[in-house]
């Protein structure tokens, strides 16, 4: 595709017909050209100097039966993560109030389940109701959902449901065997059909190729509508997990390749919040600044992401001050009820 063709496509956004070849061509652009196009897309839809702050809390940690090779919460791996029961509601609400006081506008609750069941699911519904009563956006990531569970979460007031694809369909089998790619897409369809907004992204740095990264972005960018939030995670290797022990995953992702991934996500999904997610604790200020320049406009804010360390909140505020960035104010949105389609 020529530069003129690409520019013409950008003016017709948002598109839902991106090919993997087209996206791979974006990755291959000269870095300055790629960042320029990402900035153009970003400024058409967002304030370029505002970043959304979200807080993520693990409300049920460890003991997950899945075999995701990156996850320290899997019961199959010998990591330092201890299995814990579902947190009491008041503990969760205390954390939500603290997050709100620090400036977070969205509170996400994560549970290490294959799927929610029984009384535990009923308890999560009550947590969602209480978080919404605080005036915050409520988000959850609880594993696979049935259509009925998605409907009940919506009725409880949930705004967003997170369910990542992790990688592209071809590389997925190298990372997970206990849940199929179609299982993930089914849950996303149930979420959309219930009228919830979608938070869906992936992880890079797991030994995948650039072609795989382009394939993952293509899966996301073909959704109708695009996910409202797109978390891009940089792999954090936890001792005891296969990605930390197996030589196949030994190579570290080049920082510029990660920044390119952010930029390509911004260009292909221009109206979505692109979240600079896991791995940020190990990034320099300069790398994070380039990610914001490439179109990232959301971060997880607080000391921990589920079981993984995160950058200190005060450190974030100091970086924001250096960059002239301010926290994004909450804007009420009407979640789309359109059916999610993955071409």
- Average pLDDT estimate for 250-278: 94
| SS3 category, 79 | coil
* Residue-level pLDDT at 281: 83
- Average pLDDT estimate for 206-225: 96
Q: Percentage of residues in the chain with pLDDT exceeding 90?
A: 60
Q: Which of 106, 275, 280, 291 is catalytic?
A: 275
- Average pLDDT estimate for 134-144: 91
Q: Which of 37, 64, 106, 179 is catalytic?
A: 64
Task: Decide if pLDDT at 328 tops 90.
Answer: no
Q: Which of 37, 106, 108, 291 is catalytic?
A: 108
* Residue-level pLDDT at 335: 41
Q: Is 71 a catalytic residue?
A: yes
Contact (Cβ atoms closer than 8 angstroms) between residue 268 and residue 18 = yes
Task: Decide if pLDDT at 330 tops 60.
Answer: no
pLDDT confidence band for 2 (50 / 70 / 90):
very low
The conformational region for residue 198 under phi > 0 = left, psi -120 to 50 = alpha, else beta, is beta
* Residue-level pLDDT at 4: 44
Instruction: For residues 237 and 250, give the distance between their C-alpha atoms in angstroms, rounded to a whole number.
Output: 10
Q: Is 275 a catalytic residue?
A: yes
Q: What is the pTM of this model?
A: 0.86
Q: Which of 152, 179, 189, 199 is catalytic?
A: 199
Which tokens in the block code for residue 139?
A: 């988000």
Task: Decide if pLDDT at 307 tops 60.
Answer: no
* Residue-level pLDDT at 331: 53
Q: Which of 37, 71, 152, 179 is catalytic?
A: 71
Contact (Cβ atoms closer than 8 angstroms) between residue 231 and residue 272 = no
Q: Between 153 and 7, where is the model more confident?
A: 153
Contact (Cβ atoms closer than 8 angstroms) between residue 198 and residue 161 = yes
- Average pLDDT estimate for 131-141: 91
Q: Is 200 a catalytic residue?
A: no
Task: Decide if pLDDT at 8 tops 50.
Answer: no
Question: Which of 208, 216, 268, 210 lies closest to 235, judged by CA?
Answer: 208
* Residue-level pLDDT at 12: 54
Task: Decide if pLDDT at 1 tops 50.
Answer: no
Task: Decide if pLDDT at 342 tops 90.
Answer: no
Q: Is 108 a catalytic residue?
A: yes
Q: What does the pLDDT look like over 152-184, one tens digit per residue? A: 999 999 999 999 999 999 999 999 999 899 999
pLDDT confidence band for 265 (50 / 70 / 90):
very high
Q: What does the pLDDT look like over 42-97, one tens digit per residue? A: 999 999 999 988 888 889 888 888 888 888 888 888 787 777 888 999 999 999 99
CA dihedral 313, 93, 135, 147 (to 10 degrees): 110
Query: What does 87-112 look like in DSSP terms, one character per residue?
Result: PPHHHHHHHHHHHHHTT-SEEEEEE-
Q: Which of 37, 106, 139, 152 is catalytic?
A: 139
């Amino acid at each position: 595709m020529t530069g003129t063709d690409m520019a013409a496509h950008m003016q017709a956004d948002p598109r839902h017909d991106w090919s993997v070849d087209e996206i791979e061509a974006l990755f291959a652009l000269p870095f300055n050209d790629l960042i320029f196009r990402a900035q153009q897309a970003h400024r058409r839809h967002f304030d370029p100097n505002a970043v959304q702050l979200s807080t993520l809390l693990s409300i049920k940690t460890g003991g997950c039966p899945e075999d995701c090779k990156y996850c320290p919460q899997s019961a199959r791996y010998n990591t330092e993560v201890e299995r814990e029961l579902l947190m009491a509601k008041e503990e969760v609400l205390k954390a939500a109030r603290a997050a709100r006081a620090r400036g977070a506008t969205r509170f996400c609750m994560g549970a290490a389940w294959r799927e929610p069941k029984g009384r535990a699911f009923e308890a999560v519904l009550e947590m969602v109701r209480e978080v919404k009563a605080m005036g915050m956006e409520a988000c959850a990531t609880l594993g696979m959902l049935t259509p009925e569970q998605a409907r009940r979460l919506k009725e409880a007031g949930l705004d967003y449901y997170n369910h990542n694809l992790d990688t592209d369909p071809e590389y997925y089998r190298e990372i997970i065997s206990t849940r199929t790619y179609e299982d993930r897409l089914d849950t996303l369809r149930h979420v959309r059909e219930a009228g919830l907004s979608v938070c869906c992204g992936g992880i890079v740095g797991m030994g995948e190729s650039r072609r795989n990264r382009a394939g993952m972005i293509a899966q996301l960018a073909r959704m109708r509508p695009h996910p409202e939030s797109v978390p891009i995670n940089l792999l954090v290797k936890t001792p005891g997990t296969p990605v930390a022990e197996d030589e196949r995953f030994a190579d570290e992702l080049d920082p510029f390749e990660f920044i390119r991934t952010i930029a390509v996500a911004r260009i292909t999904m221009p109206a979505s919040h692109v979240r600079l997610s896991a791995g940020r604790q190990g990034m320099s200020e300069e790398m994070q600044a380039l990610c914001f320049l490439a179109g990232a406009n959301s971060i997880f804010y607080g000391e921990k992401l589920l079981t993984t360390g995160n950058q200190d909140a005060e450190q974030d505020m100091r970086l924001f001050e250096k960059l002239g960035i301010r926290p994004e104010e909450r804007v009420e949105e009407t979640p789309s009820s359109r059916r999610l389609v993955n071409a």
